[in-house]
Structure 1
Amino acid sequence: MGAENLSDGAGLLFFVLCVAGACIGQLLVWRFIDRDALQRCQNAASAYFSVVATLYALLLGLIVFDSQARFEQAKSNVEAEASAGLMTFALARSLPGPMSVPIREHFVHYVNRVLDYEWDEMQRGHLDQGSRQALIAFSEALTKYDPVTPKEQILLDKMYDNLTVIWEMRRERLDDVMLAPSTLLWSSILIGGAATIFLGLFFVVDNNRLQLLMTAILTLIITVNIYIVSQYANPYSGEVKIQNTSFAYLREYVMQDR
């Protein structure tokens, strides 16, 4: 699974297969294990289930909470990057002389590159080197501007401050794309879920239909939480993702200069 998100249809299929698999497992337990034997191991199964389920609930809860917090932080970073870009371009408009023209042109190219190419690449968990080169070109154009008056120096200093924010927020944005949950973490999530469901199969309830329903509900709860984690794995793809609204507004603003 890694950084890839489960689509809506794949998520529904995941739910159905897991619930069906758990119910089939319950039927197999009833078929191959004597009911009296299950009754005798009831206390042991209950103790094991309590330990495993508690540990797994803590693990999964922390992962879901961390994923949601990471999503909100990523959203704030995008907004901060776009805001710093808007301020940078507004200050660039105030710079006099022909040297300010390439500065604005390079920044417009960067914004267009992010929206037209990089955003799609981020949804696939990839990076766009063209956007990085565009921002480097803008940074180099800014360093070539030679301020003449104290006002120009103040404007340039503020632009450098905002450029630093842009680079930092861009780095955070790309880190969020690349630093997906590791294979070890996914293994812990899936194995823990399977173990919890498996131990739940050894309980004895007088009504078989009721026990199947309980097994299905337990499996559904676990798979829903796993699905949530998969949706937050990459903040820029899946059903729950960060939109490019901030950058779209930024492009609308910078294109007014054309």
Structure 2
Amino acid sequence: MIYDLTDIVLRDENYNYVIKNDIEVPINLKNFIVEDNKINLPFVSVILEHNYPYLHNKFVKKEIVENSIKQGICVHNMISQSIKERNDFKLNLNILDCKNTNHINIAKRIITELNSFIYKYNIDQIYSERTYLYLGYDCNYLGTIDIILKSKDTYYIMDIKTSRSNFVDKYNAQLFLYKKIFENASKKIVENCFILNPREDRVFMEYVPISKKEQTRIISSIKNIKIM
């Protein structure tokens, strides 16, 4: 069964996952495909919004939210491309067509921190923006992991943040879902997970496993989330 969907999906304007044109739908996804080849399954960001709604400040100006989203997308694109172009031990930043000094400075700091991590943990392979599918007796969902790092047979997962909003419980839940989906898809064990946020005093937030009760609450909620 296919659980790594990276090469066959894209995101539409509403961030829904869509099967690319001219791609035959994998048999394990056929029951979840709806109009316009959209995949009718919850994905990690929606699951987090459903379980931590109190963290969304309705009084923040729309312009601030939109600028934060644009910043995140721009920085993620620079980091992802830089990882794809890695041909040496360290990463070199590709700023693409970005003209925003603030975005570029954030991306530079992330690259610096990633290179320190690569050196410290002797990383030999690094992947970006990998999309996986989880189908299980307990729930079904999709997720795209920002960064996966490999050192021989040891794996690490990392998610990038670019705004000052350190929601520890939510971030640990996010890493829990990514760890679950990656281990199921790859049959590999993740050694550790991190949130990388250069705008926080603690740049690397190490994953703290959420309680069994919280795991059950989140997994149970997935069955009740309607996407389309």
Shorter-chain TM-score range: under 0.3
- The higher radius of gyration belongs to 1
Whichever structure has more strand as a proportion of its residues is: 2
Q: Which structure is richer in relative contact order (CA contacts within 8 A, separation 6 or more)?
A: 1
Whichever structure has more helix as a proportion of its residues is: 1
